[in-house]
Structures are given as C-alpha cells and as structure tokens.
Amino acid sequence: MLVRSTNLTLLLVVAMAIPACSAFAQPPTRSDPKDWSEHFPPHHMIGNIYYVGSRGLAAYLITTPQGHILINSNLKTSVPLLRESIEKLGFHFADIKILLISHAHFDHDGSSAEIKKLTGAKYMVMDADVPVVESGGESDFQYGDDPALRYPATKVDRVLHDGDEVRLGDTVLVAHLTAGHTRGCTTWSMKVQNAGKIYSVVIVGSPNVNPGYKLVNNARYPEIARDYERGFQVLKSLPRRIEETESGLVCAATTSTNGPIENPAQACGCGNFLRTNTAQPRVFWLRAWRLFLPARLPD
Ligand SMILES: [Zn+2]
C-alpha cells in the first residue's frame, strides 16, 4: 500500500536490462553468455520490488496482495530460474497477473509466451514493440533476419502508449517511451513505500546503441537517431529531479559481460553492484549516476 508523504524521497532503480542492451556488452550471438542463465540470489530491493533475474539478466517482481507484476521474461529457457527465484522469496509464480518487458529483445521477452500460458498473466507491451513480440522477433529492425534470435511469438493483451499507467492493487507503474534500442523500449517508473518514506523508482529500459546499429540512413528504422535523442532527454530528466529533491539514486543495471563490479565508477553500468551492495549510502548512487550520464549522453 502506498502512503503519501510531503517529504518525497526520490530513489532511482536503473535496471538496464542488458546485452542486447549494454554499451559494455556483446551483441547477441548464437551462444548466450553463461551468466545470462546463471543463478543469482533473489532478494528484496525496496518497497514491494524484488530481484528475481539471473546474474546477467535482470527481472523484477513487484508484489501486491492482488497478485504480482513481472518485468522481463528473459530468455526462452529462463522460466525455471525465474520460478525458483520467485518461490524462494515466498511468492507464487502462478500469482503473476501482469507481465511487462523493458524492450522486445530475445533476452528480455523470450519466455513471455510460456509465462502467459503458465500463469494467465496479461501481457502489456509498448505499442511500437508489439509487432516484434507478436512475430517472435521476426520484425525486429536489427535482428529479425536471424532465426537464432527468435523466440515464441506472443500475443499482447494490452497495447501501451507513452505515459500509460499499469495498475495492480495499490501499485501504479508508468510506461515511459525511451525508444532507439528498440522502437518501443520502455522505462518504468513507480512510487514505493519503504521504512516510512516514499521513493520514486525508475527501471530503465536500455539507452544503449548495440554493435551494428546504424544511426544514419537506417532503412529499417529511419527515425532511430531521433528516437535515441528523445529517449536520452527523458533519461536525463531523472537525475535533475533527484537534485531538486536533494535525494539519492540507486542504479541497478545488469550486465552480462562485466561480472561483479569492483569499481564504483562503473556502478551505473552494472547492476551486480547494487544487487550485492544494497546498503550503500544513497548519495553514492547519485554520484554514480552523474558519472554515467555526462559521459554517455549528449547535451
Ligand atoms: Zn536489448
């Protein structure tokens, strides 16, 4: 349940789901990185948000008394790992009522069809990613020609548009279009209560330009550069909000290739740091965010 507070504390959970997604990662290949399927301890993050992904691919369970929301279904082989993580936390896989994704790449939406079948969850996807998930990746502008990167086509139950809300119980997520990585790449925001404070949480889709992406004269995605630019502006607005409220930031990106992060300056590139260091002072994450954004985003 959410409680309103005049002292709104802002907390960002940046969940850049990866490799087809990371500036540091490899492009999708026929042999997936090992850590994409490597177990990682599921754990509570903040409020009603739990980490249930693998070491290399993020997935988040948002729990409510009315059932749960899962963000990212990951690889088409990921269901056993997701189920085990959820059950270890004491929740029921079958209670997933809504399935969301960060974007339509095989490493984040590969199990969506199976999860729908097993749980009856409603699949809600940003409009511009709908043709991709409903074709099992075949209509993807970059990877659609490679059968190895396909996955079971999945019917979307609700088509989302920029700014739409997804509600379950008292939980409300807002879908922000941050396109470029895919046409419908989605950054999610929500408010949670934790230890008597209200936090704003942001789960970033992916701002990354994958190897091989053409930003100019891309016949299959002519507006790609414009979309990235707009998406960067949306993401850049987030730390400004933190500064205005003198609040902190948690960065929970995931990585498939960097492994556990030792250098705090890399924190925003890699969620492993957050997942293993959740007690870090929030001001640290604000610094990490500042380190990350100026280096990678145009003004
Ligand atoms: Zn991706």
State the pLDDT at residue 1: 36
CA of 196 to the centre of ligand 1 (A): 35
State the pLDDT at residue 288: 42
What is the pTM (predicted TM-score) of this model? 0.79
* Residue appearing with tokens 């004491």: 90
State the pLDDT at residue 153: 98
CA of 50 to the centre of ligand 1 (A): 21
CA of 186 to the centre of ligand 1 (A): 11
CA 244 to chain CA centroid, Å, is: 25
CA of 18 to the centre of ligand 1 (A): 6
CA of 28 to the centre of ligand 1 (A): 9
How many Cα atoms sit within 13 Å of 212 on the Cβ side? 10
CA of 226 to the centre of ligand 1 (A): 18
CA of 181 to the centre of ligand 1 (A): 6
CA of 103 to the centre of ligand 1 (A): 6
The residues near 257 (Cβ < 8 Å, ≥ 6 apart) are: 19, 22, 24, 25, 26, 33, 56
Q: Which two tokens stand for residue 224?
A: 């790609």
Q: Which domains does the chain have, with CATH numbers?
A: 7-291 (3.60.15.10)
Question: Ion ligand 1 — residues with CB under 5 Å?
Answer: 20-21, 105
Length of the chain: 299
CA of 111 to the centre of ligand 1 (A): 15
CA of 162 to the centre of ligand 1 (A): 19
CA of 71 to the centre of ligand 1 (A): 14
Burial of 37 by CB count in 10 Å (0-12 exposed, 13-18 middle, 19+ buried)?
A: middle
Alpha-carbon gap, residue 256 to 33, rounded angstroms: 7
Q: What is the pLDDT along the chain (299 residues), one digit of tens a residue?
A: 333 333 333 344 444 333 444 433 444 446 888 888 999 888 888 789 888 988 888 899 999 999 999 999 999 999 999 999 999 999 999 999 999 999 999 999 999 999 999 999 999 999 999 999 999 999 999 999 999 999 999 999 999 999 999 999 999 999 999 999 999 999 888 888 777 777 777 788 888 888 899 999 999 999 999 999 998 888 777 655 544 443 433 443 333 333 333 333 333 333 333 333 333 333 334 444 444 443 333 33
